Structure 1
Amino acid sequence: MNLTNRQIHRDVAYFYVGLILAFSFSGIILNHRQSWYPTEYAYESEEVQLKLPKGELTEQSIRNLVASYPLEYESHRLRGNSLRIDFADRNIMEINTEDGKGVLEARRTVPLLGHTIKLHKSTDTAWIWYSDIFGAAMILIAITGMMIPMGKNGFKTRGWKLMLAGLIFPLLFLFVL
């Protein structure tokens, strides 16, 4: 079987079109995560009031604070006067350390959006290998695309100029901005 650049380009692109769309879509979302980050949403919320101990908040004192809740403590983060306590099953508690008032939220992953973002952030070994193969396939798609003969609008006549123009922006962001 004698494959042409056009056939390789087309077939590899067809195979990866779902992942291309998922990575592209979730990448756009991640670029704007400071203003809109739809990985999860609160489906249940209740106000809470904790009696905070005097002195430093330690892991043990925080565990004692939340022991009356039927939730499994996982971790906490203290930033300024804000205490975030993470529980199993994606429940979180945000507490103001000055007055002990806060909110307990039960959260769920946003269907489709939240799941595609997980693809970008996954550290699973099998997924990393698949993503690496995908990266190699993107290189193959780019190279075979450049080698598809297109006459007066082909890579040799006009395509290389567009490629250089497309490289300018990533290089500017890497080294100048």
Structure 2
Amino acid sequence: MRWRKWNFILHRDIGYLCIGLTLIYAISGVAVNHTSHSFNPSYTIEKSAATVSKLEDGKQPDREYVNQVLAELGETGTFKNVAMLNPSTMRIFIEGNSIDVTLATGAVIQEKIARKPGLFEMNYLHLNKHKKSWTLIADIYAIALGLLAVTGLLMIRGKNKLRGILFTSAGIALPLLFLFAVL
């Protein structure tokens, strides 16, 4: 039959188009599924402790003290802002770094953040952080996956038909059973 030939061609070509996006979504999906307090799928977060000169008694923290803290830490990143977390703790925001200083002791806790190369970009796409034009691409990809599923079902013939129906039914039943169990 001629429609089977066109179904096969459509299935094959849509499949080729979907390979790259499917790999990106698969890798990102696994990473995002395992987000926890100890694993960030997009960023590496490095915490460290240090000590700097404490703020002199009776003085208020000012830009001069902030510059002194940054110099003692050897921090050369771009200064963004400074805020008082409470009367005894100051937070200095540097590009990719936040520095908490306990004023009375000079104790410092730094949290440096850097993008995970590759994973950051994949998660950015998968989670549709950009919105706008990426939404259209993601919608086209979702429709292509739907067409891939339908054309794949239409390819099942002969003795594999029952197997295909069973596996397809299992694929539909699995999320429904999960939702029934947890809701």
- 2:79 is the alignment partner of 1:71: yes
Correspondence list, 1:1-177, <5 A? 4-34=6-36, 35-42=38-45, 47=50, 68=67, 70-73=78-81, 89-93=95-99, 101-121=107-127, 122-154=129-161, 157-177=162-182
**Cα deviation digits, residues 101-153 of structure 1 (max 9, x gap):** 44234432111122211112224211111111111111011111100143210
Q: Which runs of 5+ in 2 are unaligned?
A: 56-61, 71-77
* TM-score, structure 2 normalization: 0.66
Aligned residue pairs, count: 160
Contact 1:91 1:104 in 2 (8 A): yes
Q: CA deviation at 1:176?
A: 1.9
**Cα deviation digits, residues 66-89 of structure 1 (max 9, x gap):** 964652149x9x8xxxx98765x4
Q: CA deviation at 1:14?
A: 0.5
Q: CA deviation at 1:48?
A: 6.2
AA paired with 1:71?
F
Contact 2:96 2:114 in 1 (8 A): yes
- Structure 2 residue aligned with 1:55: none
- Residues 94/4 of structure 1: CA separation in 2 closer, same or farther (3 Å cut): farther
d(CA) in 2 for partners of 1:94 and 1:172?
47
**Cα deviation digits, residues 4-23 of structure 1 (max 9, x gap):** 11111111110121110010
d(CA) in 1 for partners of 2:133 and 2:51?
41
AA paired with 1:167?
I
- Residues 153/32 of structure 1: CA separation in 2 closer, same or farther (3 Å cut): same
Q: Which moved more, 1:42-51 or 1:137-146?
A: 42-51
Q: CA RMSD in A?
A: 4.0
* TM-score, structure 1 normalization: 0.68
AA paired with 2:143?
A
Larger Cα-atom Rg: 2
d(CA) in 1 for partners of 2:152 and 2:163?
13
Identity of aligned residues (%): 30
- Residues 95/20 of structure 1: CA separation in 2 closer, same or farther (3 Å cut): farther
AA paired with 2:8?
R
- Residues 93/38 of structure 1: CA separation in 2 closer, same or farther (3 Å cut): farther
